């Protein structure tokens, strides 16, 4: 075996390098998907940049389209935008497969050149053995990583969150925001009504003092409505965090 490796170091080393890179691509893709699945299980409080962007885009899309959103299509586009080292998940899968083919191709070229240079079939037999071993290792790692299964699980988790939880929250926030606007408008209307009534009832001797009191009441009512709106907005912010 040592003699074979020394005599065929270039092709053997090239084949092994392609194989290791191929397996590495599959492994890294699986690790990324596993991390996203774990974060998506608690998506409402996640700090993952990709998932936070997904929530923000969905909220904007939901509000712009008045609640009419095809969640499955939205999540499918989100999955296509996931990148690892600048490559999409689909591209990583294709690169991994191409690297495996290059590994087998390098082993075949090494075997052919060995036969051309007068080596017997037994001398180049390790090439064939390594080719079968490469295929076995690649598909074994692919089965253990299960990229397709993890991808489907991530899509299902995100769709479940957006349809069953995020949509209801957006509707509730919109309803509460409309209520806050109504409360503020009522407070301003009531404050505006109190000002002329209080001023008309004031005697001339104390008109200035009464007017100041009416203005203070107006400001107090407006401040109360604003404070109530701020408190509700803060609660809604914590609810959507």
pLDDT classification of 216: cutoffs 50, 70, 90: very low
Q: What is the pTM of this model?
A: 0.64
> Is the per-residue pLDDT at 214 higher than 80?
no
End-to-end CA separation in angstroms for the chain: 61
> Is the per-residue pLDDT at 138 higher than 50?
yes
For the record, the structure tokens of 5 come out as: 């490796």
Number of helices and strands in the chain (H, E): 9, 2
What's the pLDDT at 211? 45
Higher pLDDT, 97 or 168: 97
Label residue 74 exposed, middle or buried (CB < 10 Å: 0-12, 13-18, 19+). Answer: middle
> Is the per-residue pLDDT at 118 higher than 50?
yes
For residues 225 and 187, the answer to whether their CB atoms sit within 8 Å is yes
Distance CA 73, CA 76 (A): 5
Distance CA 100, CA 122 (A): 24
For 88, the enclosing helix (H) or strand (E) is: strand 87-88
> Is the per-residue pLDDT at 224 higher than 80?
no
> Is the per-residue pLDDT at 98 higher than 90?
yes
For 102, the enclosing helix (H) or strand (E) is: helix 89-116
């Amino acid at each position: 075996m040592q003699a074979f490796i020394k005599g065929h170091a270039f092709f053997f080393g090239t084949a092994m390098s392609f194989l290791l890179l191929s397996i590495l691509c599959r492994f890294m893709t699986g690790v990324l998907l596993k991390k996203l699945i774990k974060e998506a299980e608690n998506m409402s409080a996640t700090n993952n940049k990709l998932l936070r962007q997904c929530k923000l885009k969905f909220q904007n899309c939901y509000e712009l389209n008045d609640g009419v959103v095809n969640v499955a299509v939205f999540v499918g586009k989100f999955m296509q935008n996931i990148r690892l080292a600048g490559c999409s998940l689909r591209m990583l899968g294709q690169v991994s497969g191409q690297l495996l083919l290059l590994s087998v191709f390098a082993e075949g070229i090494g075997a052919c050149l060995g036969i051309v240079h007068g080596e017997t079939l037994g001398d180049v037999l390790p090439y064939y053995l390594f080719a079968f071993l490469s295929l076995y290792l690649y598909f074994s790692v692919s089965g253990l990583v299960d990229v397709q299964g993890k991808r489907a699980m991530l899509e299902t988790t995100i769709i479940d969150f957006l349809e069953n939880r995020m949509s209801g929250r957006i509707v509730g926030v919109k309803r509460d925001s409309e209520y806050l606007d109504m409360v503020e408008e009522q407070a301003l209307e009531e404050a505006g009504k109190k000002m002329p009534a209080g001023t008309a009832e004031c005697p001339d001797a104390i008109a200035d003092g009464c007017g100041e009191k009416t203005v203070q009441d107006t400001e107090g009512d407006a401040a109360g409505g604003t404070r109530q709106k701020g408190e509700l907005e803060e609660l809604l912010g914590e609810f959507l965090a």
